Structure 1
Amino acid sequence: MRLWGETSQETMPKAEEYQKKEHQLHPEIITQNQEISPGVFLISYQQKQDFIPGQVVKITLDPEIPPRIYSICSGNHEQEVRILFNIKEDGYLTPKLAASIPGDKIWVSQPYGSFLGTDKPAWWIATGTGIAPFYSMFQSGQFENKTLVHGARHLNQFYFEDDLDWSLGKNYIRCCSQEQSCDVFPGRVTDYLQTQNDLPKDQQYYLCGKALMVVEVRDLLIEKGVPYENIIAEIYF
């Protein structure tokens, strides 16, 4: 399993990373900036470089300010790259990014990273904005034979649920810890997984979300017999 300390939403990158080609920044123009849920935004710019679903980019509003890292949240055949983010009140990028308008300039890196989707059967497990890389995989056509478990505190935090529910059907499981609905599991992602006694042992499990969730789900999966090497993780801070 891979724990991405460097790919956190608000973590300062190491200085030597700027020397790598994939971390060099170039300007792009914002084409859309939509608030899709209170405090949660989907920002877009034109896609000019190929990427593999699951990859990330670095973003900043000023090349003199260290960028943050975000998963791409769009399909690899679309005309725009979309980034899903939530405002962090103590952050110095996200409040300004949320206030940006179409026509403003941002600085982004080339897509990179190894949290990559495949066409093989797999489980996708996400909390909050950790849905982003999975939605990129979904929009890129990699949703056959996938089970998606998405956890959130509130019912309005299941981003893109209409598209996902339409295509995945019973393989799309929503888990809500603080509100209830007739078609939503009442509890956290870990509560749902505890109820599953026949998890496939020969499939990969992709985890994306905050560190505590990733560690708890990893340990739970291992307890249920899932091989350690079948667990792949991306941590958001």
Structure 2
Amino acid sequence: MSKSRKKEPTLYTQIITNNEEISPDVHVISFKRDFDFMPGQVVKIGIDTDHPPRIYSICSGNHEEEVQILFNIKEDGFLTPKMGAMIPGDKLLVSKPYGSFIGVNEPAWWIATGTGIAPFYSMFRSGMEENKKLIHGVAALNQFYFEDELEWALGSNYVRCCSRETSCDVFPGRVTAYLSEINELPNVKFYLCGKPLMVVEVRDLLIEKGVPYENILAEIYF
């Protein structure tokens, strides 16, 4: 007997209003918001009913008129090259938002790599930046998405870590190297978003430094 497949959520047609390349092969695609969501939640996105949709975090604020999705083009992928080529008026299939990786107003650290910054930018745009520290790790300096806005608003609570290039006010190394140099961590929630290896390494490091497991929340990007 074959295994039953998990039922995919219903997808609704959305009309693209904008598609901006904010860094080489990294885009923010937009459409009018016709649903409510909590900052940090995800949607499934597809372009037809013949291929399974993929999961993306919403990166816009929950009171903004448009929903924005941050994504990077994977040359060997099916969906992202087609999304990258879309223009206003094209149609996208999008599910209703869901997920439990949700921002809170209490103090917290947001730790992201690459496009994993998307849910934290949504939290930031939704007014949750007070008492937050954002640590963003990337390989190249042009991958600090939304950095001007974040630096202006967060100041010293916005930490950029770059593993392959150097610049003033940027930590020269990975997120794990930055965290390793901190002797005492605060008693707050730690939100992690990035690729599986990063999430595991940072989670283990935080636990080694005394952070309770229940204070660590993670969202994995593939």
- TM-score for both structures, normalised by structure 2: 0.97
Match of 1:234 in 2: 219
Q: Deviations over 1:142-162 (max 9, x none)?
A: 000000000000000000001
- Does 1:224 find its partner at 2:214? no
Which whole-Å CA distance do the structure 1 matches of 2:79 and 2:217 have between them?
A: 28
Match of 2:127 in 1: 141
Equivalent position to 2:44, from 58, 78, 85? 58
What is the percentage of aligned positions where both structures have the same residue? Answer: 70
- TM-score for both structures, normalised by structure 1: 0.91
**1:88 is paired with a residue of what secondary structure?**
coil
- Does 1:28 find its partner at 2:28? no
Which whole-Å CA distance do the structure 2 matches of 1:215 and 1:186 have between them?
A: 21
Equivalent position to 1:17, from 4, 7, 11? 7
Larger RCO, structures 1/2 (Cα 8 Å, 6+ apart): 1
**1:132 is paired with a residue of what secondary structure?**
helix
Which whole-Å CA distance do the structure 1 matches of 2:5 and 2:71 have between them?
A: 24
Match of 1:179 in 2: 165
Which whole-Å CA distance do the structure 2 matches of 1:29 and 1:63 have between them?
A: 16
Task: Give the CA RMSD over aligned residues.
Answer: 0.9
Q: Deviations over 1:84-143 (max 9, x none)?
A: 000111111001110111100010000000000000000000000000000000000000
Which whole-Å CA distance do the structure 1 matches of 2:191 and 2:159 have between them?
A: 15
Gaps (5+ residues) in structure 2?
none
Which whole-Å CA distance do the structure 1 matches of 2:121 and 2:7 have between them?
A: 27
- Does 1:215 find its partner at 2:200? yes
Gaps (5+ residues) in structure 1?
1-13
Q: How does 1:2-151 map to 2 (within 5 A)?
A: 15-18=5-8, 23-151=9-137
